[in-house]
Chain A
Amino acid sequence: MTRRTMPKRTWLTDSPVAAVVLPIIGLAVAIGLWWGATVVFSIEPYLLPSPWDVVVKFFEQPGYLLQETGTSLLETIEGFLLAIVIGVPIAVLIVRSVVLERLVYPLLLMVNSIPKVAIAPLLVIWMGFGQWPKVVMVLLMCFFPIVISTAQGMKSTPTELVELMRSLNASRVQEFFKLRLRYAMPQIFTGFKVAISLAVIGSVISEFVGATKGLGYVIQQSGASADTTLAFAAISLLSVMSIALFYALVLLEHWLLPWAQEKR
């Protein structure tokens, strides 16, 4: 038998303070390397601005950039919620009916395999320049991981728990709400966490085409005027948004599903 050494448990692995401090250190080191590179190789700001340039750029027009962030955030959240509202019931139906699964699954796969950038101009043609094509793009990006993980979760109910509910004469509805859906929640949340990052990407892609607002629009415009620093400021705001949304979901999961935390 091969010997596997267990990872040592120390303050660094177990403390909640370390759980917050370590990611910050990681980020700080990465930014430090970036900064170092721009100084050591004296890179022109229009090629790669230093972190400081980016911060300065942000504070030149914080109101404008935050407003654009707000626009993108709203599109992201709307599309994400729509994907949940549509995706979860579809996943439930797929699990309930083999016929439906066979009918719909290849279709889902096909839609998922289409590069979303290719649809962006079409969405504009169909839905105009308003918010809708952006929300729909986010929906398209989020839909698949949410459906897959929900379906997977709904199928993972242990047989002995199903049998328990049967032996208690539970109705189909009770079995669904009291057992299957609850049991699937951790996996559904995994899908949500994958989807939320994709949602942010979706909103940016859609803002590249036929938009007049949003961080994607800012990035596209800055490219046209070779304002690399502005593009970096917008990209930084995007990543902050992405990280914040992700951790909001993690917190929500902690709060809603305390029973699922122990599995590590």
Chain B
Amino acid sequence: MIRLDGVGQVFDGREGQVTALEKIDLHVRGGEFVTLIGRSGCGKSTLLRLIAGLLPPTSGAVQVAGEPVTGPRRDVSFMFQRPALLPWRSVLSNVMLPVEIDKGAGDRSKAAYRDRAHQLLELVGLQGFERRLPHELSGGMQQRVSLCRSLIRDPQVMLMDEPFSALDALTRTELSEELQRIKMELSTTIVFVTHSIEEAVVLADRVVVLTPRPGRMREVVDIDIPRPRSLGQNAHLTEVAAISGRLHALLAEKESDEVRPVDEVRSR
């Protein structure tokens, strides 16, 4: 479904060029749930933006559904770290935004999309909140609305950029369970960026570990724990713990030359 071949990304920083990503080869199968994990500034978000067509790669090729990515695609949706809701729009009309912007989408009538929006809001427990404004909702509820918005056009691919990282632990647990449920129902391909090891393990079929500066693929770890899994109580605690420990070691590993635990991308 998603194919990256020798992808690299170089930014022009103030102090010369900055290599954000280098030699990324990744193949995500249809219906697969892949999490990208790494320290801050390792290029995870950049990688996601390359797949989304928000950013053209400096080198290499990005393909989605067998076609080279030239810009944002209708069948790919993006979910951000923050809810990114338009504050003057009601919950329902925020969910309907993608449909409204892409009027040519015509595979369904507006009424059908509206029904779908109600259905999705019910799925995440927001029935009865359709006419509320975003500022009347809690952070978790806002992020649920954002999730519904990214699902409204039944995307083939969902790209999620640390969508739960700003939420409290309990809400985060709930949402990760909801996401798995939705995933199993819709068989969407998901690429999910996170810096939480636990989240990466619980959600993913495969975890891709990135090393920072420049972002390289350190390792790809398969997760064979049966679903549904939970961040909270877990029937497979030992497996999760074992894999988490391994990921932790991979992330903490110092490479030969100085890898400084700083947050920004090192310029060279």
Contacts and interface: CB of A to CB of B under 8 A. Distances in A.
Chain B binds chain A: yes
Interface string A170-207: 10001000110011000000000000000000000000
B54 A259 contact: no
Contacts of A170: 101
Contacts of B72: 166-169
B133 interface: yes
Interface of B: 52, 54, 71-72, 74, 77-78, 80-82, 84, 86-88, 97-98, 100-102, 133-135
Given A160-B82, A164-B84, A178-B86, 14 more contacts: A163-B78, A167-B72, A167-B77, A167-B78, A168-B102, A169-B74, A170-B101, A178-B100, A178-B101, A179-B86, A182-B86, A259-B133, A259-B134, A259-B135
Identify the 8 closest CB pairs spanning chains A and B, nearest first.
A167-B78, A259-B88, A160-B84, A164-B84, A169-B72, A170-B101, A259-B87, A168-B101
A163 B80 contact: yes
Interface residues of A, number: 21
A208 to B, nearest CB: 43
Contacts of B74: 169
Contact of B86 (A161, A163, A258): A161
Main secondary structure of the interface of A (DSSP, over half): helix
A60 interface: no
7 contacts: A160-B82, A167-B52, A167-B78, A168-B102, A169-B101, A178-B101, A179-B86
Contact of A262 (B81, B82, B135): B135
A259 B86 CA distance: 10
Interface in A74-114: none
A167 B98 CA distance: 9
Interface in A30-81: none
A183 B52 CA distance: 25
A165 interface: yes
Contacts of A183: 87
Contacts of A169: 71-72, 74, 101-102
A252 interface: no
B54 A165 contact: no
A174 B98 CA distance: 12
A183 B88 CA distance: 8
B80, B88, B133, most chain A CB atoms within 10 A: B88
A164 B80 contact: yes
Contacts of A158: 84
Given A160-B82, A170-B101, A182 B88 contact: yes
A260 interface: yes
Contacts of B78: 163-164, 167
A257 B88 CA distance: 7
A167 to B, nearest CB: 4
Nearest to B76: A167
Contacts of A178: 86, 97, 100-101
Contacts of B84: 158, 160-161, 163-164
Interface string A221-240: 00000000000000000000
A166 B54 contact: yes
Contacts of A166: 54, 72
B75 to A, nearest CB: 11
Contacts of A259: 87-88, 133-135
B31 to A, nearest CB: 22
Nearest to A162: B84
A165 B97 CA distance: 9
B204 to A, nearest CB: 22
B92 to A, nearest CB: 14
Given A166-B54, A169-B101, A170-B101, A260 B86 contact: no
A101 to B, nearest CB: 22
Contacts of A168: 72, 97-98, 101-102
A166 B102 CA distance: 12
B104 to A, nearest CB: 10
A146 to B, nearest CB: 21
Contacts of B86: 161, 178-179, 182
A170 B102 CA distance: 7
Nearest to A174: B101
Contact of A160 (B80, B87, B135): B80
B54 A163 contact: yes
Nearest to A258: B133
A178 B77 CA distance: 19
Contacts of A257: 88
Nearest to B74: A169
Interface in A238-264: 257-260, 262
Contacts of B77: 167
Nearest to B77: A167
